[in-house]
Amino acid sequence: MKDIIGEVLEECSIQEEYWGIQNHHPEKWMNILMEEVGEASKAVLESFPFIGDQIKFKYWLSEYRDELIQVAAVAISAIDSLDRNEGKETENGK
């Protein structure tokens, strides 16, 4: 479990380096989170034609796992933003 949490925190750092510190309204965070969930879902759906082909199937499962790490990182970032901005206006002025 520690390895997984480490991967998620590493992904948080990557996202923060790429996007900077994000201070979104909860509505925008949900859109970002659901986009990542959609990518995880797509990875699973795309794995089904390859169930008999172990190499391709393992590739798609790896993609699914990567997307789940991103889902977790976005969720953590959303919580961090919420806690950091409690009672303050966000970038959207809400």
Number of domains in the chain: 1
**Would 55 be classed as within a structural domain?**
yes
pTM over 0.85: no
Q: What is the mean pLDDT of residues 74-94?
A: 80
Position 9 confidence tier, pLDDT thresholds 50, 70, 90: very high
DSSP string spanning the chain?
A: -HHHHHHHHHHHHHHHHHH-S----HHHHHHHHHHHHHHHHHHHHHHGGGTT-HHHHHHHHHHHHHHHHHHHHHHHHHHHHHHHTTTS--TT--
pLDDT in tens, 33-49: 999 999 999 988 887 77
**Would 89 be classed as within a structural domain?**
no
Name which residue leads in pLDDT, 78 or 45. Answer: 78
Domain of residue 57: give its range: 2-84
Q: What is the mean pLDDT of residues 16-38?
A: 94
